[in-house]
Homo-oligomer: A and B are copies of this chain.
Amino acid sequence: MKIRKLPPAANSHAFPLLIKSLLAYSLVLEPEREIVYKDLVRYNYYTFNERVRRLSNVLDGLGLKGGETVAVMDYDSHRYLECYFAIPMTGNVLHTINWRLSPAQILYTINHAEDTVLIVHEEFLPIIEKFAGEMPSVKHIMVTTDGPSTNTTYPNYESLLNAADTHYDFPDFDEDAVATTFYTTGTTGDPKGVYFSHRQLVLHTLNLAATFGFVDSASVRCRSNDVYMPLTPMFHVHAWGFPYLATMFSMKQVYIGKLSPLMVADLMKREKPTFSHCVPTILQVVLHCPEAKAIDLSGWKVMIGGSALTKGLAKLALERGVDVNVGFGMSETCPVVAVSYMRATDADGDLEAQLTARTRSGVPTIFTDLQVWNEAGMPVAADDKETGEVVVRSPWLTQGYVKEPEKGAALWKNGYLHTGDVATIDANHSLKISDRIKDVIKSGGEWISSINLESLIALHPGVAEVAVVGLPHPKWGERPHALVVLHAEARVEQDDLKDHIRPFIDQGQLSKWAMPEEFVFVAAIPKTSVGKIDKKRIRSEWPQTIGQKI
């Protein structure tokens, strides 16, 4: 097909999509608004911009010429946000280190990403210092602290900024330049690096603005007057991209440092955030922590992602006035590719209708060609019954894995990124993730969704948290086993939970094979480094440790 291309312009007018445009806009609407870090730091967007320029001069002063990787290993903070901008805007690549990984994995990612500079919180220095001699690419280390530091070995981030020039002209360059990278832990093998370009992060930010702003949904929207407090760590998919959105529109932002229920409660009280996002576990912990019980949470909008929002947790949230719904994505998708869309009629429904609407996995966002494919690679019927794998195309998906083309080839097949999530989809394009492909339990010829089973178990009032995994069974192939954390005051026995589940089987909501083989009560459920239930570990450790009841 022929097309007509733009003729060369009479003047230089190219306008690449670069992160610097997001920062530039932060000075337009409400630059007097504040970025807050715990009870320690509070400054406006003029200061923020100046500090980003100072940091850029610091990076240049280290001899970085662009195209190098600068890693950050810090708690969520204003400093981290400065790095979100200065590192890519100087043409370098921001590597957000997941400090929840094991030291060996952290070392692996530093070397695999070929980090030149490390910006490290002093609490993590002991880990880094043990790596001495094992990080050939690292030329500079600087240290962040929340106050006076005992460290004298490495230059201090704050001192370097103070000494730096406040002027910096951020250059234009190709919008396909890599801006960020980080590592995701799969089910097997070493962490894999995903990476995103300036163009991708800019388009993802516009996606969030349109999806949360222009789309008029009856729940959890986010607009420029909201007060934003991320509860997803900043090392994890750029805190789902919202810090870029919040900064662009000069929203008030609140950063929590090391996440704790106490700090959440304290910041809720003092800074009154109105929009947050987190994995279900975090919301669970916040809703149950004694410190938050005394606080009025009504009007707090929370988008849940990372794992399924159970009806039980959604109910608990709604009872506290928390407007909760769901976004869908993964590290490879930047991440947001679907978000709950509640029509006014959904919002008018009774509690059960509300819970059903709010716990679905979302409707595709703009520019997102999201499909559910059966094993033959054909779209499933939009009947909310036939299951298949979620596949997706959009402008902001990782193009592969860093230096591992063969793994990228497994991710991208037939032109679509394969998410590994099993779902149904209904006639309104609303997705319902039923499981990870590898977590589906195949028992007696039936496929049982571990997530569906968890959601129903979680409806029992005594259950605080639950994980269901399939364990090998000589006769049935696999059988479901449930790990349960009870509320402190709850008195619940295995038979109570079986009685709770049986009606769902009788009503046909669960297959007859779905009754768990056992309910094991534990003090805590193993989690991955980003707070998801670690089913791989549960399966592998079950016979030894997990099977030990509390």
Q: Are A1's CB and B412's CB within 8 A?
A: no
Segment of A78-86, A204-212, A313-321 engaged in the interface with chain B: A204-212
Asked whether A331 is an interface residue with its Cβ less than 8 Å from the other chain, the reply is no
Q: Are A393's CB and B214's CB within 8 A?
A: no
Complexed CA–CA distance, A366 and B25 (Å): 6
CB < 8 Å: which of B12, B341, B364 contacts A415? B12
Interface centre among A91, A215, A249 (most CB of B within 10 A): A215
Q: Are B2's CB and A91's CB within 8 A?
A: yes
Residue on B nearest A409 in the bound complex, by CB: B10
Asked whether A299 is an interface residue with its Cβ less than 8 Å from the other chain, the reply is no
Q: Mark A3-18, 1 if CB is under 8 A from B, else 0.
A: 1111101111101010
Given contacts A12-B415, A210-B214, is CB(A3)–CB(B178) below 8 Å?
Answer: yes
Complexed CA–CA distance, A6 and B67 (Å): 11
Asked whether A21 is an interface residue with its Cβ less than 8 Å from the other chain, the reply is yes
Which residues of chain B are within 8 angstroms of A409 by Cβ–Cβ distance? 10-11
Q: Are B399's CB and A4's CB within 8 A?
A: no
Complexed CA–CA distance, A224 and B341 (Å): 12
Q: Are A2's CB and B415's CB within 8 A?
A: no
Q: Are A5's CB and B178's CB within 8 A?
A: yes
Q: Are A13's CB and B214's CB within 8 A?
A: no
Given contacts A2-B91, A400-B9, is CB(A214)–CB(B213) below 8 Å?
Answer: yes
Asked whether A405 is an interface residue with its Cβ less than 8 Å from the other chain, the reply is yes
Which residues of chain B are within 8 angstroms of A369 by Cβ–Cβ distance? 24
Asked whether A155 is an interface residue with its Cβ less than 8 Å from the other chain, the reply is no
Q: Are B213's CB and A9's CB within 8 A?
A: no
Asked whether A216 is an interface residue with its Cβ less than 8 Å from the other chain, the reply is yes
Q: Are B173's CB and A1's CB within 8 A?
A: yes
Which residues of chain B are within 8 angstroms of A13 by Cβ–Cβ distance? 393, 397, 399, 412, 415, 417
Residue on B nearest A430 in the bound complex, by CB: B28
Q: Are A399's CB and B177's CB within 8 A?
A: no
Given contacts A248-B366, A363-B28, is CB(A197)–CB(B6) below 8 Å?
Answer: yes
CB < 8 Å: which of B3, B174, B222, B412 contacts A3? B174
Asked whether A408 is an interface residue with its Cβ less than 8 Å from the other chain, the reply is yes
Asked whether A112 is an interface residue with its Cβ less than 8 Å from the other chain, the reply is no
A interface, CB within 8 angstroms of B: 1-7, 9-13, 15, 17, 21, 24-25, 27-30, 65-67, 91, 93, 171, 173-174, 176-178, 195, 197, 203, 206, 209-210, 212-216, 222-226, 245, 248-249, 341, 343, 363-364, 366-367, 369, 393-395, 397, 399-400, 405-406, 408-409, 411-413, 415, 417, 429
Going nearest first, the 9 A-B pairs with the smallest beta carbon separation are A213-B214, A11-B412, A213-B213, A3-B177, A2-B67, A209-B210, A10-B408, A216-B225, A209-B214
